[in-house]
Amino acid sequence: MSEKINIKTVLVSPLDWGLGHATRCIPIIKFLQSSGYVVIIVASESTKRLLQKEFPTILCIDLKGYGITYSNHSWAFPFRVMLQMPKIFSIINYEHKWLQKIIDDYKIDLVISDNRFGLYSKKVSCVFITHQLRIKSTFRWTEKLLQLNNYRHIEKFDYCWIPDIDSKNNLSGELSHPKKLPNIPVHYIGLLSRFEKNISAEKKYDYCIALSGPEPQRTILENKILKDIHQLKDKILLVRGLPAAEDIIPSTENVEIKNHLPGMQLEQAFQQSEYIISRSGYTTVMEILSLQKKSILIATPGQTEQEYLSKILLNQNLCFCISQNNFNIVTAIQQARNFPYSTISLPVFQKENLQQLLSQIKF
């Protein structure tokens, strides 16, 4: 009698604050698929739409997102988020109770949650992915309180995976390398990127502008760019970061405009561009640096994490960073042309490392 093959089922679920949490799960999902695991994706509407385009054959289950709204003004950002904390905690409680039934219904063997605090369970092993062990705050004195609360949630999981490297020359600084780590096994898994550098890619664009992030700041930045982009004579691709948008902004002779590009097409556009212009979101930064591309990064106003990353990246000469208030696309391009970019290469996610981590997990 042949031995029965025990195929494991893994649930993967990213947070819905921007698309970065979803895109950095893509290399993990691809690895799980290629290693023979059955993968089930759990996501809210916007992230589900993106991941279904990448993985049309994988079962995707709806789970409402946190639906956080942001302010037009950077100074109001922390207060706007604090006012929504009761809503956030309510969703965390809901998704935790929801998960227990899903584990039974779909015979889940492992849960991998990218920053969804409620997706933990005593029934199976649960992994929490984050690059923010220390949460930056407008008010320095609140950072310790935020870290204590953050750890209280993270330590309900069995393992913590950090998309960075455990060395001095890391990408996230204090965010992922605080003095005190959570009291569960913590593993640095390298940079998570959908993309791999293609040295044979031919240049097609001078600049690829990839917009992303929460409204209304995404639209505010888009309007700033559209106001002045006609002054440029370079070949430009503008990707608006709106997978569900139906409105169309017409392209011009030198500016090609797309609402959205699936992962493979966006990778090709990045490969074919000399410069990338985008937000300083951590996932976007990982993708840009994995391709060793020059970039111009604009932090989302009020998002302390992006503002902190901008300072680190600028100080290391990895990326040219500028605030949104001071951003003008013509001036920024002139400044970037004279910026002394560093060409250091940071280790990306290795399949062998993840295979080793999975072998240590109790299924």
d(CA 207, CA 223): 17
Q: List alpha helices for 107-199, DSSP H.
A: 143-154
Sequence letter at residue 154: I
Count of alpha carbons within 13 angstroms of residue 263, beta-carbon side:
24
Cα–Cα distance between 79 and 73 in angstroms, integer? Answer: 11
Q: What is the pLDDT of residue 252?
A: 93
Strand partners, 238: 209, 257
Query: 257: helix, coil or strand?
Result: strand
N-to-C CA span, the chain: 25
Question: pLDDT in tens for each of the 363 residues of the chain?
Answer: 444 457 899 999 999 877 789 999 999 999 999 999 999 999 988 788 889 988 999 999 999 877 665 555 555 555 555 665 677 788 899 999 999 999 999 999 999 999 999 999 999 999 999 999 998 876 677 788 888 889 999 999 999 999 999 988 889 999 999 999 999 999 999 999 888 888 788 999 999 999 987 788 899 999 999 999 999 999 999 999 887 788 889 999 999 999 988 888 999 999 999 999 999 999 999 999 989 999 999 999 888 889 999 999 999 999 999 999 999 999 999 999 999 998 767 777 777 888 889 988 877
Q: Return the bridge partners of 111, or none.
A: 11, 126
Name the pTM for this structure.
0.87
Q: With the C-alpha atoms ordered 50, 55, 56, 61, is the resulting torsion angle positive or negative? A: negative
Q: How far apart are CA 70 and CA 301, in angstroms?
A: 10
- Within 13 A of 165's CA, how many CA atoms are on the CB side? 14
Distance between CA atoms of residues 336 and 339, nearest Å: 5
CB 349 within 8 A of CB 192: yes
Which pLDDT score, from 0 to 100, does residue 5 have?
59
Domains 9-192+348-360 and 205-337 belong to one CATH topology: yes
- Report CA 31 to chain centroid distance, whole Å: 18
Determine contact, residues 350/190, Cβ cutoff 8 Å. Answer: yes
Tokens found for residue 105: 């219904």
Q: How far is CA 285 from CA 12, 70, 156, 195, 225, in A?
A: 22, 22, 29, 12, 20
CATH numeric code, 9-192+348-360: 3.40.50.2000
Angle, helices 217-228 vs 329-337, to 10°: value is 80
pLDDT value at position 43? 94
Q: What is the pLDDT of residue 78?
A: 57
Where exactly are the structural domains of the chain?
Answer: 9-192+348-360, 205-337
Q: Mention every residue, 6+ apart, whose C-beta is less than 8 A from residue 143.
A: 134, 135, 136, 137
CB-CB neighbours of 281 under 10 Å: 25
Q: How many CA within 13 A on the CB side of residue 122?
A: 0
Residue 70 confidence (pLDDT):
58
Q: Look up tokens 């997706």; give the residue.
A: 119
| Coil, helix or strand at residue 360 | helix
- Residues forming beta bridges with residue 209, ordered by sequence position: 238, 277
Q: What is the DSSP letter of 175?
A: G
CATH number of 205-337: 3.40.50.2000
Which of helix, strand or coil describes residue 320? strand
Secondary structure, 3-state, 290-303 = HCCCEEEEECCCCC
